[in-house]
Chain A
Amino acid sequence: DTGVSQDPRHKITKRGQNVTFRCDPISEHNRLYWYRQTLGQGPEFLTYFQNEAQLEKSRLLSDRFSAERPKGSFSTLEIQRTEQGDSAMYLCASSSGRGGREQFFGPGTRLTVL
C-alpha cells in the first residue's frame, strides 16, 4: 500500500502522560500536514512541513505540542502532559510540492485521554 500511514491507530492514555504519533507520507511527497478532528467537526490545521522545514503552525498548537520531520520523510507529533481536551482524531496528510493541489489523508490516530 503506497498511501499515507499512521501509527498507532488508537491510543488511550492517562491525563498528564506524553504521547507520540507517527505519520509516513506517500513517498516523494514533500509536503506533510497535521490536523486535529473532533467529533462533528472538520479537520483543523495544526502544522505543515515542506521537506524537513516546519513552515507554519496554527495557534491551536500550544507549547505542549511539537512536531518534527527530521529527514523530510516520516513525521512525529508529540503531545506532552496530555489533557482531556486533547482527545481527538489526529490526521496526517501529504501532498506533492507542485501547488500541493491534491492532499491525501491517512486513516488517523484516535487519542483518548482519561
Chain B
Amino acid sequence: GEDVEQSLFLSVREGDSSVINCTYTDSSSTYLYWYKQEPGAGLQLLTYIFSNMDMKQDQRLTVLLNKKDKHLSLRIADTQTGDSAIYFCAESNGQNFVFGPGTRLSVLP
C-alpha cells in the first residue's frame, strides 16, 4: 500500500531556515500537502502542491517536489518560536489521503 515517511525530529535556532523532508511511494499521487499540528489542536493546512509542479512559494514557506524520486520538502525561512509544532506530509490521489508520521520541529532561542 501507499506509504509516507518523514524524519521524526528537527531542531533549529530561531531565525535559521528549517527544512523538513518527506518521501512517498504512491506514483499516482495528485496532490502533496503539508499540515501543521500544535499541541491539543487539529491539523492546519499550510500549503499543497500539484504533482506536475516542482516548486511552490508562499511567504516564508517553500515547497520543493522531486517527482522522480518521490521526495517532498518544506522549507520555512526565518523560523520563529511559533513555528514549533509537528509537521505532517500527506499525499492524495484525489480520493484517499495518506499521512506521514510527522516531524516534530523544535525552535531554540
A65 at the interface (CB under 8 A from B): no
Which DSSP category, helix, strand, loop or mixed, fits chain A's interface? loop
B62 at the interface (CB under 8 A from A): no
> Judging by beta carbons under 8 Å apart, are B42 and A42 in contact?
no
A43 at the interface (CB under 8 A from B): yes
Checking A35, A40, A93 against B101 with a beta-carbon cut-off of 8 angstroms, the contacting residue is A40
Write the nearest CB–CB distance from B94 to chain A, whole angstroms.
Answer: 6
A100 at the interface (CB under 8 A from B): yes
Give every chain B residue within 8 A of A33 (Cβ-Cβ).
97
> Judging by beta carbons under 8 Å apart, are B95 and A42 in contact?
no
> Judging by beta carbons under 8 Å apart, are A104 and B98 in contact?
no
Interface size range of chain A in the complex: 20 to 34
Give every chain B residue within 8 A of A43 (Cβ-Cβ).
43, 88, 97, 99
Write the nearest CB–CB distance from A91 to chain B, whole angstroms.
Answer: 7
A28 at the interface (CB under 8 A from B): no
> Judging by beta carbons under 8 Å apart, are A42 and B41 in contact?
no
Q: For chain B residues 1-52, which have a beta carbon within 8 Å of chain A?
A: 4, 30-31, 33, 35, 41-45, 48
> Judging by beta carbons under 8 Å apart, are A106 and B42 in contact?
yes
A66 and B57 CA atoms in complex are apart in Å by 40
Q: Which residue of B lies closest to A41 (CB)?
A: B101
A55 and B94 CA atoms in complex are apart in Å by 13
Q: Which residue of A lies closest to B8 (CB)?
A: A40
Which residues in B have some Cβ–Cβ distance to A below 8 Å?
4, 30-31, 33, 35, 41-45, 48, 88, 90, 92, 94-102
